[in-house]
Amino acid sequence: MTWTIRPPRAEDQEALAEIYLSVRRETFVWVDPGKFHREDFAAHTNGETIFVCEHADGGVAGFLSLWPADDFIHMLYIRPEFQGCGAGTALLRALPEWPRHKYRLKCLVKNRRAKAFYLSHGFEVTGNGASPEGDYEELSFVPA
């Protein structure tokens, strides 16, 4: 598939909020789904740089949010029908100076599929901790 990575537009906000809400509810099955709300997207990405992944028909397939001051990938969410099709890889490759720059993120331990994705893209486990959604591992991408 061919992906276009671009900044968000005002008209993307509803689609991005829906992706964030629905993927969280489908993936984090160990968390009460009532704890996730559509408004979370705007609150949780405030001040972050958003990269939108658009598929060939112009629809939004997913997004990545980055907290640039810490080179921290806060979120990477892909609609289920596009998972495993290269959208996440395209978003990583769109990061400034990828793959010559160090990035880090937190991945919930129970989210095995996401962890496998990041490990396959060169991230390594560099720490761990706990959050309201469960235990997580810090993963870091260190350029070769």
Q: What is the pLDDT of residue 142?
A: 87
Per-residue model confidence (pLDDT) at position 30: 87
Tell me how far apart the alpha carbons of residues 131 and 101 are, in angstroms, rounded to a whole number.
Answer: 27
Q: Block means of pLDDT (10 residues each) for the chain, length 144 residues?
A: 94 96 89 88 95 94 97 96 96 96 96 96 97 94 86
Predicted local distance difference test score (pLDDT) of residue 143: 87
What distances in angstroms separate CA 88 from CA 25, 35, 99, 113, 129, one per listed residue? 19, 25, 14, 12, 24
pLDDT in tens, 29-66: 888 888 898 899 999 999 999 999 999 988 999 999 99
- pLDDT given for residue 9 in this prediction: 95
Comparing CA positions, the residue from 134, 108, 113, 138 lying closest to residue 123 is: 138
What is the phi/psi pair of residue 110, to 5°? Answer: -70, -15
